[in-house]
Amino acid sequence: MNLSNTLFASISNRLKAKVSLLNEERFYVKNLKTQIDSLKKIKENNYKNLSVKKLSVEQDVNQNLIVMYVINISFLKANTIINVSDIKGNMKLFYSSGSVGLSGKQKRKRRIAVFKLMSLLLQKATFIKNKPVALHLNNVTFYKNLIISKLKRSLYLRVIKSFNQTPYNGCRKKKVRRKKYTKKFK
Beta strands 91-96 and 132-138 are: unpaired
Indicate the residue among 12, 46, 62 that finishes a domain: 62
- As a whole number, mean pLDDT of residues 159-165 equals 87
Given a cut of 50, whether residue 52 has pLDDT beyond it is: no
* Domain span holding position 131: 66-163
Given a cut of 90, whether residue 1 has pLDDT beyond it is: no
Statement to judge: residues 12 and 57 lie in one domain: yes
Statement to judge: residues 95 and 55 lie in one domain: no
Statement to judge: residues 56 and 70 lie in one domain: no
Q: Which amino acid is at 125?
A: A
Given a cut of 70, whether residue 139 has pLDDT beyond it is: yes
Given a cut of 80, whether residue 128 has pLDDT beyond it is: yes
Cβ 100 vs Cβ 113: under 8 Å: yes
Statement to judge: residues 72 and 23 lie in one domain: no
Tally the domains of the chain: 2
The structure's pTM equals 0.55
Cβ 124 vs Cβ 134: under 8 Å: no
Paired strand residues for 103: none
